[in-house]
Amino acid sequence: MMHTDNLARWRRPLAVVIAACVWAVGVVAAAAVQKTPSYLWRNVTVGAGGFAPDIVFSRAQRGLAYLRTDMGGIYRWSARRQAWIPLEDGIAQSSYFGIEGIAADPVDPNVVYVAAGMYASEPAAILRSQDRGKTWQIFPTPFRMGGNEPGRGVGERLALDPSDRSLLYFGSRYDGLQRSTDRGERWSRVSSFPIHGVGWRAAARGETGISFVVIDPSSDRRGQPARRIFVGVTDAAAQHLYRSDDAGASWTAVSGQPRGTLVPVHAQLDSQGILYITYSNGVGPNGVTDGGVFRYDTRSGHWTDITPERGVPRAPGGYMGLSVDAQRPGTLVVATLNRWHPGDILWRTTDGGRTWQNLRALSRRDVTASPFLLWGEPEADFGWWMAGVAIDPFDSGHVAYTTGATVYATQQLLNADQGKGIVWKPWVRGIEQTAVLTLVSPPEGPHLLSGLGDISGFAHEDLSRSPTEQFTHPVFANTDEIDYAGSEPRVLVRSGTPSRAPAPGAGPGAPTLAYSLDSARSWQPLKPSGATSAITVSADGRAFMVTAPMPLVTLDRGRSWTPARGLPTGAHPIADRVAPETFYALDLRTSSLYVSTDGGRTFRQRVSRGLPASLQNDVPRSPERQWPLIATPGRGGDLWVVSRAGLFHSIDAGRSFSRLDGGIFVAALSFGKAPPGRRYPALYALGMKDDTFAIWRSDDEGSSWIRINDGPHQYGRRFRCIAGDPRVFGRVYVGTDGRGIVYGEPRARNP
């Protein structure tokens, strides 16, 4: 039996949900685990899908850029491939997928540094690469980071001295200004800096520490550390901008800086010694209601308020994203933040902020590459959470900005000089940054159905293209569960949470259940009375059952609902995959099995042997987690229970269960096409062996398991859900928390 102390060793925040998506852990002991087969791993294409706080262009080589994400790691743009390349798939540490900062070497294009750490309570490190992120050296830091915490859009916090390139600075959230003199290997706090930080254990107070470090390259002497450095601070204090003119030996608060509730969030220095800074009254990405844009002449000390919109009335919101044109002093682009009504704006100036152009007014979006950005509307939104803006230092017409769901780019920025229109397109090929909550691979129709966090879900007709079939009518924010009728798989149901986007049907009282009769290509909402959290459909597709304080059943597509009789409060029914009138429900508190043979209208308790006396510890605490009782596709009366106490199997409709010993701790279980020469489906699992959390396959009904992912395909071990393909033997889909959907297939063997 697996002890809870052992369980804590491999659990990651939001990392293991079965699915489809469960955190229940099955204990399986001591059988042989076979040799790892050769698998090919790829992403199912959605096209971005999450928050990317910033883009950093290389100043050493044209066509080279890096993208940092809050929970999906770092990407490099490859001009040769015309795609973004994920750079952390071989890293096993989950926390390193929350990126706090990037510093690309301004001289050597092969060298890049990354500050990686997702939450204050988790490990943090500096990653150093000398081959553009193909391989990494990892140096754990004594200070913590917060790459997926409030304030993750500020920056850049990590800075490389362009003169002495062994010297780096990092503006910590919790431990002041840090410095490394050996290319990121060892770090110490700059004791002369006046803000020492509160330590990560005090992070709950809301401090987010230093927001950026800007080094003035014109202040250095060749081979010597740069003398002039600017550091922004967001903590509550009288001063928020500091400068050093002696390479960090001493610091002074910059005189004349903006006061009040505004804090500096982004800054860049141009070639004329002008420091441009965006300010907000919070660090975002939410909760900002005021802000401004300022320029500071580092030579004269003169400040100028250059905020594009000043006075009243003006829409609430602040500013964050900022980029200076490296080829045109006085030209820059800034982004508003949390300007929800009428929407966020990119502003551009070519005269140092005396006049501004509203780029939103000149723009349209072509989202052919990511159709989900339409959200069921005729036109895509300009964006929100626009924390990052970047003008290509080699091409003044090429600019990109990040949003809460995608990265937009254009080659037409200079059209604004003539007031001409600008077309923006998603710059996302290769970026897959979604939190995947549930996956289903039905026996007909699209090979894959996905439920995702924040962007509803999809029917994936073509795994290599962003799907045109987003789950709409209604759009959910999160799609937590998808089920199909075992004998009529065109009939589908799903459950989730109301959309936070301005989509039809969103808002208070919006439906959280829906059904489809055409393999997820169109949907109809369901609105039973009472709170619901899950839904299942009978094998013939006639009956829908929902979990409520008392489970409900409908036989007329939701026009009327009848309480199911004979079930304990909070029971979660599931449908038999073959028998149309049969449903099961397992009371985890008592390990009691309840069975209905009249389409879910009435249930009776069934004597069931072989399960532990209680499975109370396996009660899911979130709708994203699949119930531990699972019915096997294509086999009537065939049930599995995934629990901390073990992996249990029944072939007699739950009258008896056998505990399996397969050599791994099973955390998530799914079924795929039977192996050649066999009739029983192949099993797929997310599971633990020793200290390795991995993806597994069993070809012998769980008696033994083979690991099917390898070292280069660990994805931070941020696995959430799994689904085998019933039509392609060996193919398995895995939902991650931040790296989208990956799928694996056995590599073809050479004859």
Cα–chain center distance at 218:
39
Say if CB 146 and CB 99 are below 8 A apart. Answer: no
> Residues 517, 520, 526, 530: what is their CA dihedral angle, to the nearest 10 degrees?
130
Strands (E), 469-610: 469-470, 476-484, 492-498, 513-516, 524-526, 534-537, 544-547, 552-554, 562-563, 574-575, 583-587, 592-596, 604-606
CA distance 99 to 90: 16
Active site residue 70: yes
CA distance 134 to 152: 25
The residue assigned the tokens 């919006």 is 510
**CB of 265 within 8 A of CB of 234?**
yes
Facing residues of 719 across strands? 736
Told to judge if 661 belongs to the known catalytic residues of this protein, a careful annotator would answer: no
Alpha carbons 174 and 207: distance in angstroms, whole number: 7
> Residue 543's closest CA among 532, 553, 533, 530?
553
CB 405 within 8 A of CB 419: no
Q: In what order do the strands lie in the sheet with 39-43?
A: 39-43, 741-746, 732-736, 719-724
Amino acid at 83: A
Q: Which of 455, 451, 469 is CA-nearest to residue 733?
A: 451
Q: Which of 685, 667, 632 is nearest to 12 (CA)?
A: 667
Phi and psi torsions of 94, nearest 5°: -60, -40
Q: How far is CA 657 from CA 553, 607, 648, 694, in A?
A: 28, 11, 6, 26
Contact predicate 242/193, CB 8 Å: yes
Q: Three-class SS of residue 446?
A: coil
Q: Report the Cα–Cα distance between both ends of the chain, in Å, rounded.
A: 44
CB-CB contact of 127 with 137 (8 Å)? yes
CA 343/CA 335 separation, integer angstroms: 11
What is d(CA 354, CA 303) in angstroms, rounded to the nearest whole number? 13
* Residue 9 host element (H or E): helix 4-10
Catalytic residue (one of 54, 175, 235, 454):
454
Q: What is the dihedral of CA 455, 338, 171, 202, to 10 degrees?
A: -80
Contacts of 24 (CB under 8 A, 6+ apart): 18, 618, 620, 625, 628, 642, 643, 644, 667
Cα 258–chain centre separation: 35
Phi/psi of residue 184, each to 5°?
A: 90, 0
The DSSP symbol for 616 reads G
**What b-and-e string marks burial along 135-155, b requiring 16 or more CB atoms within 10 Å of the CB?**
ebeebebebbbbbbbbbbbbb
- Name the phi and psi angles at 109, rounded to 5: -70, -10
Burial 287-317 (b: 16+ CB within 10 A, else e): ebebbbbbbbebeeeebeebbbbeeeeeeeb
User: Can you tell me the distance from the alpha carbon of 410 to that of 500, in angstroms, rounded to the nearest whole number?
Assistant: 28
Distances (CA, A) of 124 to 114, 161, 172, 199, 492: 11, 22, 11, 14, 42
**Phi, psi at 366, each rounded to 5°:** -110, 105
Element (H, E) at 8: helix 4-10
Q: Which residues are catalytic?
A: 70, 454
